[in-house]
Amino acid sequence: MLKYKLIFLIAASLVAGCAAHPDPIVDTKGVDPERLAQDWEECEAYTEQILISQGVAKGGALGGVVGAAAGAVSGRAGEGAAHGAIYGGTRSGLDADEEKQKVFKRCLRGRGYRVLN
């Protein structure tokens, strides 16, 4: 059981590390820095509507169910559930972070900025 807790903590750390997404690179030629700062904050606020923790919890639960079912075939339902939960939670967290990045960049582009990455 300690092994699974350790694996889960490592996976959670990886998701948290990925959640600190790199900032978009904006071409600032001819851009008012104050306006960019204001738009940046507003676009960042939109990304906060995507809740990574809820995605991780749902993905972990679903992964646990699928993993338990797969593990039951070999007589290791608990182990399968643990692996499935770790994979599902990590995958869902990464997907949510990627969506945050897309929303942020779309918001800036929608306000007329040239986002380079």
Give the residue carrying structure tokens 């690179």: 25
Q: What value does the CA radius of gyration of the chain take, rounded to a whole number of Å?
A: 19
Q: Which pLDDT score is estimated for 47?
A: 87
Phi, then psi, of 99 in degrees rounded to 5: -65, -40
Q: Kindly report, residue by residue over 23-38, the tens digit of the pLDDT.
A: 899 999 999 999 999 9
Does the model's pTM come out above 0.75? no
Residue 84 near residue 63 (C-beta atoms within 8 A): yes
> Mean pLDDT lowest for which of 24-38, 42-56, 63-77, 102-116?
63-77
* Mean pLDDT in residue range 6-19: 53
Q: Where are the domains of the chain?
A: 1-13+51-117
